[in-house]
Amino acid sequence: MPLTSVHDLRRIADAVSHLRDRLVLDVALRADCRQLRLVLDDGQSVLLAVTLDAEGRPRLDADLLRGPDEGPTGQLEVQFDGAD
């Protein structure tokens, strides 16, 4: 049985630790049941997925998706100078 790298274990533990003391607003399961997305109250999402390694064995993968940084609000206005 192959061992999971320490880096992968730390990344998964970090992603899952963000669930502590957080409110889960939405849960979405992909149609093929290989991916689960948990949307948290702070705008972040935890993505849990099952991937296959090179030998075809299933592997758990977890990622923390942070929301976009708060930028300027409103519509972007672009003006073009053109010949009349």
Of 12, 6, 7, 24, give the one whose Cα is nearest residue 50: 12
Taking CA atoms, 73 is separated from 25, 70, 76, 77, in Å, by 24, 8, 9, 12
Distance, CA of 35 to CA of 49 (rounded, Å): 4
pLDDT > 60? residue 24: yes
pLDDT > 80? residue 28: yes
pTM, to two decimals: 0.61
Higher pLDDT, 3 or 46: 46
Distance, CA of 19 to CA of 57 (rounded, Å): 27
Q: How crowded is the C-beta side of 55, counted as CA atoms within 13 Å?
A: 4
pLDDT > 80? residue 8: no
Question: In this prediction, what percent of the chain has a pLDDT beyond 90?
Answer: 7
